[in-house]
Amino acid sequence: MFSRAHIWLPLFMVYLLDLCVFAKGKLNVLYIIADDLRPTLGCYSDPVVKSPNIDQLASKSTVFYNAFAQQAVCGPSRTSFLTSRRPDTTRLYDFNSYWRVSAGNYTTLPQYFKSNGYTTLSVGKVFHPGIASNHTDDYPYSWSVPPYHPPSFSYEKRKVCKNKDGTLHSNLLCSVNVSEMPLRTLPDLENAAEAIRLLKAMKDTESPFFLAVGFYKPHIPFRIPAEYLKLYPIENMTLAPDPDVPKKLPEVAYNPWTDIRKREDVQALNVSFPYGPIPKDFQLRIRQHYFAAVSYVDAQVGKILQALDDLDLAKETIVVFTSDHGWSLGEHGEWAKYSNFDVATRVPLIVYAPGVTSPLPWPGEKMFSYVNVFENTQEQFDEGYLVRSVVELVDVFPTVASLAGLASIHHCQFPSFKTDLCTEGSNLAHLLGRHERVANHQAYAFSQYPRPSDTIRDDSDLPSLANITIMGYSARSTDFRFTLWVGFDSSCFCANLSDVHAGELYILSQDPNEDNNIYYEQDHAKAVMLKLGIRHPWTESLKEHMTYFREALKRSLFKNTQLTN
Ligand SMILES: *[C@@H]1O[C@H](CO)[C@@H](O)[C@H](O)[C@H]1NC(C)=O
Ligand SMILES: *[C@@H]1O[C@H](CO)[C@@H](O)[C@H](O)[C@H]1NC(C)=O
Ligand SMILES: *[C@@H]1O[C@H](CO)[C@@H](O)[C@H](O)[C@H]1NC(C)=O
Ligand SMILES: *[C@@H]1O[C@H](CO)[C@@H](O)[C@H](O)[C@H]1NC(C)=O
Ligand SMILES: *[C@@H]1O[C@H](CO)[C@@H](O)[C@H](O)[C@H]1NC(C)=O
Ligand SMILES: *[C@@H]1O[C@H](CO)[C@@H](O)[C@H](O)[C@H]1NC(C)=O
Ligand SMILES: *[C@@H]1O[C@H](CO)[C@@H](O)[C@H](O)[C@H]1NC(C)=O
């Protein structure tokens, strides 16, 4: 992106010229999305997971400590954050429709950059594949060239996992010898190599780039290079702090993790439906494999960031690292995503903006040297800027656009099915590069999850649109999580807030794992909130809170959904 004419100029002149380029808003964007990654990372204070490369990025970035996905399943979440519209506006709660046809012809984040002269490139899983992105990853609207998919992904769910007896199966736990795999590689290794190839190709082009890299891990199956397991000796593994299904958990809130049950090694355990539990030794192994998969992704992120650095692009490239949603690792007796709990909705969100979240590197200075996790002895990296306000993945689009200097995006007006460019999120750019101390930037992060019935069925994890009869709307403040499961008519996308099927309220300072639902203990709940000084209309009474929540929903969630009652 910089002309080679710079070479004969004195170094400081090059530096000044570079700053002029920033002023024109021509920063590149590297947007890295992990799949099913909750913030089990060193930079999010996880005591077990080894993620030195992402931690290093975090040390130069703003780390959003309380960032939440709008729906804890891949397709709906990705369509939501890539259009900056909530699932009620994209009308995608399953995998079976394309928003441009079924909801509105909304502009996507990469499309906005493309229309501003950027070369936009997609590697791996960015949009959800299939119908949800018209079988093209929304090409050509979002991308300058057809998206890249790693050839080895076609083997992802095949029988390639070796049991002790040497036979091959489609297992959940699938640590492999990479040189024995079909094509002798793995999808995320191919993704990293392609991303690096594209960075090199973009280095000398005139136009700025927006490169999105979607890693496939730590999504199941845990098909990962076996060596990463060594980082997590099984004897060091512990169960979730709350491995049992809480007594006060409404049935509709529980997800029966059917995708995990389908893998051959889990089937062999004969785990009872819907509550299990999975045998404890196997739970430990799932956790071990998930953590190993995170370290494996970390290594791929490290390779790409080092390439960015080696190409001298770190000073002119915004880097975003995030995930589509989280993943339960046995908390509440649950696994996988498919719920409204923090473990399923909370995501890492790390934003690096050169000169904003860290000083610009001087010519030749290294920002992101690859850290080999197997040799790394450094326990802790410096902390970056930490923001504890709740934020949402719908905020990423307006934030990145603003950081890159593109025309700002206004908030969607009711109703926002209009196809004009607008956002249902907030621009977080003003929070970057600060250790936040004072007022919250907004009160709530909203998530939602659909269910087919009050009782658990085979399709409770992922009901198709026609079968949705209940929607769980969840509001997360810094102090509590409040969820209402209400009647939902999928033929008109109507939520009926008078038809409350179940409620959940968790006070996070006392119950950080969200196990003790006090929604049904109104007097107790009121007393607790008063005692904690949680300033909220709801301290008056549950009924008032419901009214408040309903108003909040009307303003934020239901802008485009017909309200009854
Ligand atoms: C959707 O918008 C794009 C531009 O953003 C336009 O090229 C396309 O024709 C529109 N499609 C429909 C069906 O309106
Ligand atoms: C979806 O893909 C089909 C086949 O490639 C194409 O004909 C159709 O126009 C696409 N839909 C939209 C809304 O672009
Ligand atoms: C991986 O497989 C290759 C080819 O079969 C073999 O040569 C190598 O020793 C294996 N590595 C390990 C660590 O088992
Ligand atoms: C496993 O636990 C032991 C005892 O706490 C500790 O010394 C060791 O470093 C741990 N191993 C790893 C790889 O974390
Ligand atoms: C699986 O469990 C059920 C009851 O929990 C039992 O009846 C059945 O025999 C078990 N099957 C196997 C193969 O262990
Ligand atoms: C709705 O649920 C029923 C019962 O689980 C199932 O047979 C049917 O296929 C589902 N309908 C759709 C459209 O998925
Ligand atoms: C909404 O739910 C209430 C309570 O179940 C019910 O009386 C009312 O008829 C419902 N409204 C609609 C439009 O379905």
Which of 394-420 are b and which e, b meaning 16 or more Cβ less than 10 Å from the residue's Cβ? bbbbbbbbbbbebeebeebeeebeeee
Does the beta carbon of 236 sit less than 6 angstroms from any atom of ligand 4?
A: yes
470: its two tokens: 């209940």
With 60 as the cut, is the pLDDT of residue 226 above it? yes
Atom 9 of ligand 1: nearest residue by CA position: 105
With 70 as the cut, is the pLDDT of residue 21 above it? no
Average pLDDT over residues 251-255: 98
* CATH code reported for the domain at 24-564: 3.40.720.10
Q: Give me the residues paired with residue 472 across strands.
A: 449, 485
Write out pLDDT tens, residues 99-152: 999 999 999 999 999 999 999 999 999 999 999 999 999 999 999 999 999 999
Residue among 486, 492, 498, 550 whose CB has most ligand 7 atoms within 8 A, to mutate: 498
**How much of the chain, in percent, has pLDDT values that exceed 70?**
87
Distance 191 CA to ligand 2 centre (A): 26
Closest-CA residue to 488 (of 505, 503, 466, 504) = 466
Query: Could you give the residue numbers annotated as active site?
Result: 74, 128
Using pLDDT thresholds of 50, 70 and 90, give the confidence band for residue 530: confident
Distance 93 CA to ligand 2 centre (A): 21
Does the beta carbon of 272 sit less than 6 angstroms from any atom of ligand 5?
A: yes
**How much of the chain, in percent, has pLDDT values that exceed 90?**
75
* Distance in Å from the first CA to the final CA of the chain: 56
Q: Please tell me whether the peptide bond between 110 and the residue prior to it is cis, using omega within 30 degrees of 0.
A: no
Average pLDDT over residues 287-307: 98
pLDDT confidence of residue 546? 52
Q: Which atom belonging to ligand 2 lies closest to the Cα atom of 134?
A: 1
Write out pLDDT tens, residues 325-360: 999 999 999 999 999 999 999 999 999 999 999 999
Does the beta carbon of 134 sit less than 6 angstroms from any atom of ligand 2?
A: yes
pLDDT confidence of residue 547? 54
Residue 439, Cβ density class (10 Å: 0-12 exposed, 13-18 middle, ≥19 buried): exposed
Atom 8 of ligand 4: nearest residue by CA position: 236
Residue among 459, 461, 469, 490 whose CB has most ligand 6 atoms within 8 A, to mutate: 459
pLDDT confidence of residue 1? 33
Residue among 270, 273, 278 whose CB has most ligand 5 atoms within 8 A, to mutate: 270
Average pLDDT over residues 393-398: 97
Q: Is 296 helix (H, G, I), strand (E, B) or coil?
A: helix
pLDDT confidence of residue 541? 41
Write out pLDDT tens, residues 155-184: 999 999 999 999 999 999 999 999 999 999
Distance 105 CA to ligand 1 centre (A): 6
- Contacts of residue 192, defined as CB under 8 A and 6 or more positions apart, other chains included, come to 213, 300, 303, 304
Q: Which atom belonging to ligand 6 lies closest to the Cα atom of 458?
A: 5
Average pLDDT over residues 511-540: 76
Q: Which atom belonging to ligand 4 lies closest to the Cα atom of 230?
A: 13
With 60 as the cut, is the pLDDT of residue 17 above it? no
More confident: 8 or 513:
513
Give the E-state strand segments of 302-380 in sequence order.
317-323, 328-329, 335-336, 346-347, 349-352
Q: Is 480 helix (H, G, I), strand (E, B) or coil?
A: strand
d(CA 125, CA 188) in angstroms, rounded, equals 10
Atom 13 of ligand 5: nearest residue by CA position: 270
DSSP of 198-211, one letter per residue? HHHHHHT-SS-EEE
pLDDT confidence of residue 555? 53
Does the beta carbon of 499 sit less than 6 angstroms from any atom of ligand 7?
A: yes
Does the beta carbon of 105 sit less than 6 angstroms from any atom of ligand 1?
A: yes
Does the beta carbon of 464 sit less than 6 angstroms from any atom of ligand 6?
A: yes
Which amino acid appears at position 139 of this protein?
A: Y
Residue among 82, 112, 141 whose CB has most ligand 1 atoms within 8 A, to mutate: 141
Average pLDDT over residues 430-451: 77
Using pLDDT thresholds of 50, 70 and 90, give the confidence band for residue 523: confident
Does the beta carbon of 100 sit less than 6 angstroms from any atom of ligand 2?
A: yes
d(CA 121, CA 202) in angstroms, rounded, equals 10
More confident: 379 or 494:
494
Distance 499 CA to ligand 7 centre (A): 6
Distance 134 CA to ligand 2 centre (A): 6
Does the beta carbon of 179 sit less than 6 angstroms from any atom of ligand 3?
A: yes
Write out pLDDT tens, residues 411-435: 887 546 777 899 999 999 999 987 7
Domain chopping of the chain, boundaries: 24-564
pLDDT confidence of residue 414? 54
Distance 495 CA to ligand 7 centre (A): 10
Distance 490 CA to ligand 7 centre (A): 14
- Among 98-102, 201-205, 283-287, 291-295, whose mean pLDDT is lowest? 201-205
Which range scores top for mean pLDDT: 16-25, 379-388, 479-488, 556-565? Answer: 479-488
Does the beta carbon of 276 sit less than 6 angstroms from any atom of ligand 5?
A: no
